[in-house]
């Protein structure tokens, strides 16, 4: 039986070796399509690491963002960099990562949000995440801009007992370099 261990750590607790290990996992899991700005987006919050036999096999992080909706700025736990090493997929590790991240969101945020690839969307839908049905935008340096390319791939999750959202309304995310979502 393989020794599977889950660690929950803040970015500030990760040394350069651990950051390089995470970066390597993400680069491989996303077939080289995970740039430096993508990695930057995954930093500054909590990381859930899954190790088997001491090796990193899965990762996900949640970082704080502000999202405007219905005239309110909502404290949002934004899920980033969820990945499972190719030879460890289809064993529930993605669900294990998401379960840990959802506990963080439930304890600290009004809602969770993420941008899903087609390949990853089934995992999130199966866990109760909902595809946002309304418009998606961002507070850019030039003001509010619509992000139509993010519509249909942006998912939200309300913690149990959380408030209600108008799922057909508009969500405007805070700005960041690279991909906004």
- Tens place of pLDDT per residue across the chain (181 aa): 568 899 999 999 999 999 999 999 999 999 888 989 999 999 999 999 999 999 999 999 999 999 999 999 999 999 999 999 988 898 899 999 999 999 999 999 999 999 998 888 999 999 999 999 999 999 999 999 999 999 999 999 998 877 788 989 999 999 998 889 8
How many C-beta atoms lie closer than 10 Å to residue 7's C-beta?
14
5 CB-near residues (< 8 Å, 6+ apart): 50, 51, 52
Spatial separation of the C-alpha atoms in residues 37 and 48, rounded to whole Å:
20
Spatial separation of the C-alpha atoms in residues 79 and 77, rounded to whole Å:
6
Note every long-range contact of 165-170, with CB atoms under 8 Å and residues 24 or more positions apart, other chains counting: 165/69, 165/70, 165/111, 166/69, 166/70, 166/134, 167/130, 167/132, 167/133, 167/134, 168/133, 168/134, 169/69, 169/70, 169/134, 169/135, 170/68, 170/69, 170/134, 170/135, 170/136, 170/137
Residue ranges of domains in the chain, CATH in brackets: 4-174 (3.40.630.30)
The whole model's pTM is what? 0.94
């Amino acid at each position: 039986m393989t020794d599977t261990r889950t660690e929950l750590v803040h970015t500030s607790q990760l040394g350069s070796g651990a950051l390089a290990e995470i970066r390597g996992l993400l680069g491989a899991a996303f077939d080289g399509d995970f740039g430096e700005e993508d990695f930057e987006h995954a930093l500054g919050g909590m990381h859930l690491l899954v190790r088997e036999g001491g090796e990193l096999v899965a990762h996900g992080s949640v970082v704080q963002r502000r999202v405007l909706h219905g005239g309110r700025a909502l404290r949002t736990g934004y899920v980033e960099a969820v990945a499972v090493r190719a030879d460890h997929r289809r064993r529930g590790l993605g669900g294990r990562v998401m379960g840990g991240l959802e506990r963080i969101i439930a304890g600290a945020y009004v809602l969770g949000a993420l941008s899903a690839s087609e390949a990853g969307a089934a995992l999130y839908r199966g866990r109760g995440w909902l595809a946002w049905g309304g418009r998606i935008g961002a507070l850019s340096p030039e003001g509010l801009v619509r992000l139509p390319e993010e519509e249909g791939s942006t998912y939200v999750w309300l913690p149990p007992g959380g408030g209600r959202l108008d799922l057909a309304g508009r969500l405007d995310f805070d700005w960041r370099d690279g991909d906004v979502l």
